[in-house]
Amino acid sequence: MIIEDKKTSISNQDIHLENREKLNISGVKDVLSFDDQMVILETELGLLTIKGENLRINKLSIDTLDVSIDGMINSLNYSAVGDNKKITKGNSFINKIFK
């Protein structure tokens, strides 16, 4: 009996929060949902939900996988990619742009 070792590759992800007002995140695959109180990102390490007030996406780079968000950041929360059933890949922000 041969047991194969499945290696998972975990990418690095940097999150830089400055004075709870400027948030820079690397390793972002997609913006699934956003408004002025919540941003949901699909990252290389799972779904990242950012909650706050007056949130704005200032920079979104598909090439470098970087996102910059301004506003009052209240919380950051990771969850598994399949946990958020309300958001589907077809309804993502980036997919809407490139229709």
- Each residue's pLDDT tens digit, 8-59: 455 689 999 999 999 999 999 999 999 999 999 999 899 999 999 999 999 9
pLDDT for the residue numbered 9? 52
DSSP code for 70: E
**pTM (two decimals):** 0.73
Residue among 60, 4, 73, 10 nearest 32 (CA): 60
Q: Is the pLDDT of residue 72 over 60?
A: yes
Q: Which CATH class is domain 15-81?
A: mainly beta
**Per mean pLDDT, which range of 30-34, 61-65, 66-70 is the poorest?**
61-65
Q: Where are the domains of the chain?
A: 15-81
Helical H runs in 10-82?
none
| CB contact at 8 A, 53 and 86 | no
